[in-house]
Amino acid sequence: MKFRCERDVLADAVTSAGRAATNRTGTLPVLAGVRMEVTGDELVVIGTDLELTIRLTVDVGGERDGAVVVPARLVADIIRALPAGAAEVELGEEELAISAGRSQFSVRPLALDDYPAQAEPSADAVTLSADVMRDALRQVVRAASSDDARAVLTGVLLAAEEDGLRMVATDSYRLAVRDLPESSVLGSGQRVLIPARALAELQRVLDGDDELTVRLGEREVVFEAGSTRLTTRLIEGDFPNYRNLLPSSHPNVLTVDKGGMLEAIRRVKILAQDSTPVRLTVGGDTVQLTALTQDVGNAAEEIDASYDGTKMTVAFNPDYLSAGIDAIDSEEITLSTMDPMKPAVIRGAGVEDYLYLLMPVRVP
């Protein structure tokens, strides 16, 4: 195997595929690597941990066909460290040589024969708008759990609705729901659970692409955008009945500037140490944010707002609160609640296709 490729293009491909590789103990050592195969002037780079697979196709100047598996992180670091310009990669009998300018490296390959075979997707293809999907993923994936102890909460639910597709994620402290009208991937009444980790990677992949192709199988789903293919296994299990969490009414509604609220939270949470919540006192034409950490100090800030409801103080985890507000595209956000102990719903003012539900924190 021998080829030439621009350093930055090659580095991006190896880094992207390498995010699916794993260094977890107890797995095949070869899964810590990426598989590189040259055929003509085409290079295919693959990384997988058997749950998630990322495959990229890159145009190169091919001189000799061949395949190799090399340590993902090490080779990505080497390529990024090369001087700018074209890099040359050549497989010898025992080592892979990587060079550019006066820089030369050699790396011992991993066992090519041990690398898992990759099957071509066979399910029917459905095409969606990449821009719409990227925006939806940005809003929803952030609410999924990273705790593998409850596997179903580490996924994002895709459910067929009468008017399109609904995406839902929760970590039991917060819930994100995004509706995609007139978007259809599933059959009537169908629901699937896709790992949030895979969808976070898909978010990166979708940058700049106009269309996303989705192939849904019985146990896996394949996403294709541009020169990248991402394959992930579906999560088995029953997603919580999130509809019961959505309040039927919320008589207390705060409307506030998104940017001003985020800035106020950022400043006040400097004093919100050791999981200290940020308190919001609402009433009249302002909202006051306060944080108090025992034996450290306190912070307070008041910003303009409009409020319709009963005067109250409600407290939230500041990171979860700012994450929900940040997900909103509108210049103004609404925070609606029934009382300080019930979940609050954050939306963009006048926007109905996305909501972020957040549990309050009990404070004295």
pTM, two decimal places: 0.91
How confident is the model over 155-170, as pLDDT tens digits?
Answer: 999 998 888 899 999 9
Under the banding of pLDDT at 50, 70 and 90, the label for residue 314 is very high
The whole-chain average pLDDT of the chain stands at 93
> Considering 114, 134, 160, which residue would you say is the last residue of a domain?
114
Evaluate if residue 25 carries a pLDDT over 80: no
Domain count along the chain? 3
Same domain, 207 and 277: no
Is residue 119 a part of any domain in this protein? no
- 307-330 average pLDDT score: 96
Q: What is the pLDDT of residue 336?
A: 96
In the chain, % of residues over pLDDT 70: 99
Is residue 120 a part of any domain in this protein? no
Q: For residue 142, what are the domain limits?
A: 125-244
**Cα separations (Å) of 299 from 52, 89, 286, 293?**
44, 56, 16, 9
Same domain, 274 and 329: yes
Is residue 253 a part of any domain in this protein? yes
Same domain, 200 and 146: yes
Is residue 363 a part of any domain in this protein? no
Q: In the structure encoding, which two tokens stand for residue 87, read together?
A: 């890099």
Q: In the structure encoding, which two tokens stand for residue 88, read together?
A: 């040359």
Q: What is the CATH number of the domain that holds 54?
A: 3.10.150.10
How confident is the model over 278-312, as pLDDT tens digits?
Answer: 999 999 899 999 998 888 899 999 999 999 999 99
The backbone region for 350, taken as left when phi is positive above 0, alpha when psi lies in -120 to 50, beta otherwise, is: left
Beta-carbon contacts of 166 under 8 Å, excluding residues fewer than 6 positions away, are 157, 158, 159, 160, 177, 178, 179, 180
Same domain, 11 and 100: yes
| Secondary structure element (H or E) that encloses residue 290, with its range | strand 286-293
Same domain, 80 and 152: no
Residue whose pair of structure tokens reads 């039991």 in the numeric block = 172
Same domain, 132 and 206: yes
In angstroms, the CA 14 to CA 87 distance is 13
Is residue 353 a part of any domain in this protein? yes
How confident is the model over 250-264, as pLDDT tens digits?
Answer: 899 999 999 999 999
Could you write out the DSSP letters of every residue in 144-177?
S---TTSGGGGEEEEEEETTEEEEEEE-SSEEEE
Same domain, 133 and 218: yes
> Considering 244, 271, 298, which residue would you say is the last residue of a domain?
244
